[in-house]
Amino acid sequence: MSFSHLLQYDEETTDQLSENFTHIISGIGEEVEREGLIKTPVRAAKAMQFLTQGYGLDAREILRSAMFAEDYSEMVIVKDIELYSLCEHHMLPFFGKAHVAYIPDGYIVGLSKIPRVIDVFARRLQVQERLTDQVLQAIQETLQPLGVAVVIEAHHMCMMMRGVQKQNSVTTTSAFTGAFKSERTRNEFLKLITSDLS
């Protein structure tokens, strides 16, 4: 399944979600039959399926599909990976970037697979803390590297649009395994993800 386009939608799910969105629109006091809203329930139903497509995807299988034996044991970093998810508490978006590193122990993985793993878990109802840990565990369990590091920085619309309404707040979460438990290795990773090497 493509991460950029979800071309086919389950008709039964679309109908069910569309009916639910119709009730929501009516429930907030809007006129469902108004011209601008006539097709909104179906559009919203398809959007919700796209935004939660991660439930039907297997991150570990994605990684296994591009594992290569390689005698390389230095840090591999993919940084500034954009991510978009939905907060499970209010179903409002949170968005930002992820930085992922691992130290191979016999196997490397195609670099495009790491952003795909991010998407698998981000395209679900989430909390940032769990998302960080799920990415870490999928890479650790599949590649079995010497260590994995994940840092996610995100803006949460549930804080920006409602509640405390703080527009410039950024939430940062991190998780580390293996070699990244060492302060020296962890600091090297953190320095590299905050440096502009260009």
What tokens does 11 get? 């008709």
Q: Catalytic residue numbers?
A: 87-90, 128, 156, 158
Q: Which amino acid makes up residue 69?
A: A
Residue 10 φ then ψ, to 5°:
-65, 120
> What is the C-alpha end-to-end distance of the chain, expressed in Å?
34
Residue 124 φ then ψ, to 5°:
-150, 170
The 3-state DSSP class for residue 37 equals helix
What tokens does 162 get? 């409602």
Residue 39 φ then ψ, to 5°:
-95, 0
DSSP 67-118: EEE----S-EEEEEEEEEEEETTT--EEEEEEEEEEE-SSEEE-TTHHHHHH
How far apart are the C-alpha atoms of 135 and 140, rounded to whole Å? Answer: 9
